[in-house]
Chains A and B, each alone.
Chain A
Amino acid sequence: MKPIFERGPSLPIRLFFAVLCSVGLMTLDRFTDSSTQLRSYLTATVSPLYYLANLPQAMMSDASEQFMSHQRLLEQNQKLRETLLRQNTQMQRLQFLQQENDKLRSLLGSVPVAESKRLVAEVLAVYSHPFSNQIVLNKGSNDGVVAQQPLIDDLGVLGQIVSVGPTSSRALLISDTTHAISMRVERNGDHVVAEGLGQSDEVRLMHIPHSADIQQGDKLITSGLDGIFPEGYPVAEVVRITRNAQQPFLQVYARPYAQLDRIRYVLLVWPKAKPEIDEQIAPPDAEAAAVAGDF
């Protein structure tokens, strides 16, 4: 049954308004700064849908845990205990090294690397469309998550938070086409910047001159220069270098250490508080000047 009198405006007019609205939205989202806030509200509104979409997977993993045999549980427990023991021993050594490092750094007059707060979050939704490599996490502003917060896992750097809702947040992965990360080659300390290509297993290093000392297998770690990622975390390994003299720069590709297409749990890292740094910079200033004068 077709209603004759309640048809409203004609199709082209409706289309015109829809086009107008979407073009407005695109400009707002892409070319203004207010979009982060807006996105955060919107993410919060639709977060029940993420929980709903995650339900089958959550139930599956619950079920597989339920039906896991007693024997296997014991084995797993044993293995985990061993790993924990091994890592705790390494931790003791690490604490000692950390103290030593702090002392040496204060002698040199640079800022000691502060321990920062961490939080484990679970991935609610992965969207690895070629046009946007993002994940949604189950922690939000209620847990203290803030925008631009770095995200790591046990293998390497994953990405950074871009919008935050009360119970969920959205993170941009380093493989996204709109993401770039500042890094340093571990072997010689050269600074490089990697941009995402939309593929989970490859990033491209930008603007590497032909004369640069870079080799296949070089380990790339965060440089801390971008002010977002803390220094020293592994990011990627150089896998492919194409030397073509006709190109202005070397074509260098690297594979991220983290497996970006199968993330389940992530670690949120809080950046150090600013005032703390200022405090620590102030006292060793005189010493630093003295050291510099010795040269």
Chain B
Amino acid sequence: MRNILVVEDSPTMRQLISFAIKRVPNSHVIEATDGVDALKKLSSEKIDLILADINMPVMDGLKLVSLVRGNPSYKDIPIIIVTTEGAEEDRKRAIAIGANAYLPKPIQTQELIKLVNGFL
């Protein structure tokens, strides 16, 4: 079973992403409401992929990406950013920090599943 950590402050988006991920075979969704919550989950669970929003309270998605990349235990976990920030410079910044893929909202479920499958 592959664990996918969905880091999103919006319950609507968390539920929607979890719904979509259920269609990826052998996958299990673990939810986190912000970057700090995500780091807690990372320390307690074996995570295979992270899906993170950028705009979140407490700790945003970009900070989370840089912390994950700086930690030798998690640095190889693929990270997909799912955000409302659709500008090219936002995408470049996230990729430069260490995100593997960038998916602007509103998400197309098929596209999300394809991306997730590509990293698992």
A and B found bound together: no
Q: Which residues of A contact B (CB under 8 A)?
A: none
